[in-house]
Every structure is written in C-alpha cells, then in structure tokens.
Amino acid sequence: MFYKSLLLFTFIGFLGVASCKNEPKPKSPEDILFKQVMRVHNEGMHKMKKLDEAKQRAQLLLDTLAGSRQSSDSAYAQQLQSLIQELDNASFVMGTWMKEFQYDKDRINQELRIKYLESELKKVTVVKTAILNSLSRADSLIRQP
C-alpha cells in the first residue's frame, strides 16, 4: 500500500512539474532564427550515433571482404570504402560547423545577427543533409549482398 501511494504521489508530482514547463516564446526575428538553427543542428546531432554505427558496419563488411579475397567483391569493397569516407565526411562537417558556430556573434547589431544566423541556417542544413544522405546510402549499400 505504501509503495502504491508513493508511486501515485511521484506520478502526480511529475505531472505537476511537467505541466509547469512554460518556455518563453521567441520575441524577436533573431530568436526565431536561432531556434531554427538549433533545431536543424539537433536533428543532425540526433543521427550521429547512427552515423558511427553505420561506419562500423561498413568497415566490418569491408574487413570480411578483404579476408575472403574474392575478385567479384572488389566493386562492392570500393563502394564500402567510398561509403566510409562519406560517413567520415558527414561527421567531420558537423564537428567543423559546431566549432565554428558563434553563439553570441553580432548580438548587438540585429541586422548583422540575422544575416549571420541565416547563413548558419544554410550551412547547418547542408550538414544535416550530408548526414541523412550518407545514412540513406549506408542503409541501401550495407543491405546489399
């Protein structure tokens, strides 16, 4: 009985805390743009673990092919090597974007800040696209016999 009561009060407390979450709405165009940049970045970051896993699977397949030394697999091995490079590149460009992104750039000048964030939104969208495209290619290539 005690545990049921404790569980019930914990659940009610959790609901109370969750319902009190009031995020302030973006107040300015640069706030909205910044949130868009961060959303695209987070979508790309969410796929980074899958990127690493795909690279490991591709490398394992490549190592297996190298061990078998079948000449019929050489084209597939080249595709796997190309895929590994593409996955590495996608990871690299995300890391580079994150290092170069300046959170507080041009905060004093709204016009410059908006231009900067628009530019960064384009860049991070390219990064996210590179990640998604390389994962899509990995899915189709790794499933190939």
The domain limits of the chain are 29-142
pLDDT digits over 95-138, tens only? 999 999 998 888 888 899 999 999 999 999 999 999 999 999 99
Rg of the chain over Cα atoms, rounded to whole angstroms, equals: 23
- The confidence band for 2, taking pLDDT boundaries of 50, 70 and 90, is very low
Q: Looking at per-residue confidence, does 63 or 87 come out higher?
A: 87
Rounded distance between C-alpha atoms, residue 90 and residue 52, angstroms: 10
Q: Rounded distance, CA 144 to CA 74, Å?
A: 14
What average pLDDT score do residues 50-56 get?
Answer: 96
The pLDDT of residue 8 is: 42
How many percent of the chain have pLDDT more than 70? Answer: 77
CA–CA dist 138, 131 (Å, integer) = 11
Burial of 3: CB neighbours in 10 Å, binned 0-12, 13-18, 19+: exposed
Query: How large a percentage of the chain has pLDDT more than 90?
Result: 60
CB < 8 Å & 24+ apart, contacts of 74-83: 76/144, 79/141, 80/141, 83/54, 83/58, 83/134, 83/137, 83/138, 83/141, 83/142
pLDDT on residue 68: 72
